[in-house]
């Protein structure tokens, strides 16, 4: 599905008018870049710091222009200070001034798919648009993959009024 976005352009009479341009859906972008996105997440997984759980997770955030920001989980002896791979990837993109997140990949070495935790789902939802939600791409050791919008994983996210 394509989203339409207003853009300024000159009409035949030279007047500035709003036109509509097609914006690819986040699902289309995730499918187009799935291989590179999963490869970046797998590469990031190799840098995970997980001495307490031995549960290495890699993630990667895909932006609308195809840029990818990787992330890995970073554990701490004070378990509450541990940061998940998905949030590391998102925060890396946001720290670079980018909020146009199209998809987030998460990879683990588990035999079945492992999806983002509740905290990560809420953070992802914070940057998602209702009309074009962020897509979650997950993969595991069995090469099974999943592709679903954040709105499926967190249908009623917290919104501060």
Query: What is the chain's mean pLDDT, rounded?
Result: 91
| Dihedral sign computed on CA atoms, order 113, 116, 118, 121 | negative
CA distance 92 to 58: 13
Q: Please state the rounded mean pLDDT for residues 19-29.
A: 82
Annotated catalytic residue, options 4, 35, 86, 126: 86
Domain ranges of the chain: 22-153
CA distance 125 to 129: 8
Q: Half-sphere exposure (CA, 13 Å, Cβ side) for 120?
A: 26
CA distance 135 to 110: 21
Coil, helix or strand at residue 157: coil
Coil, helix or strand at residue 24: strand
User: Could you report the per-residue pLDDT of 105-161, keeping only the tens digit for each?
Assistant: 999 999 999 999 999 999 999 999 999 999 999 999 999 999 999 999 999 999 887
Quote the pLDDT of residue 161. Answer: 76
Stronger pLDDT, 42 or 159, i.e. the higher one: 42
* pTM summary value: 0.86
Q: Is the confidence at residue 34, as pLDDT, over 60?
A: yes
With beta carbons less than 8 A apart as the criterion, state whether 30 and 62 touch: yes
Q: Integer distance in angstroms from the first to the last C-alpha of the chain?
A: 30
Q: Is 126 a catalytic residue?
A: no
CATH of 22-153, one of 1.20.120.160, 3.40.140.10, 3.40.1390.10, 3.40.50.150: 3.40.140.10
Q: Please state the rounded mean pLDDT for residues 38-47.
A: 98
């Amino acid at each position: 599905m394509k989203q339409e976005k207003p853009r300024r352009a000159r009409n035949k009479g030279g007047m500035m008018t709003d036109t509509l341009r097609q914006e690819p859906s986040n699902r289309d972008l995730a499918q187009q870049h799935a291989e590179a996105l999963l490869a970046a997440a797998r590469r990031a997984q190799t840098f995970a710091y997980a001495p307490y759980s031995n549960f290495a997770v890699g993630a990667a955030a895909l932006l609308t222009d195809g840029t990818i920001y990787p992330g890995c989980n970073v554990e701490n002896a004070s378990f509450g200070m541990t940061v998940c791979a998905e949030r590391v990837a998102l925060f890396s993109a946001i720290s670079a001034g980018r909020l146009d997140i199209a998809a987030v990949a998460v990879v683990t070495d588990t035999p079945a798919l492992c999806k983002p935790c509740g905290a990560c789902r809420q953070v992802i939802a914070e940057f998602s648009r209702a009309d074009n939600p962020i897509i979650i791409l997950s993969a595991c050791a069995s090469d099974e993959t999943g592709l679903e919008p954040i709105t499926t994983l967190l249908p009623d996210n917290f919104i501060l009024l």
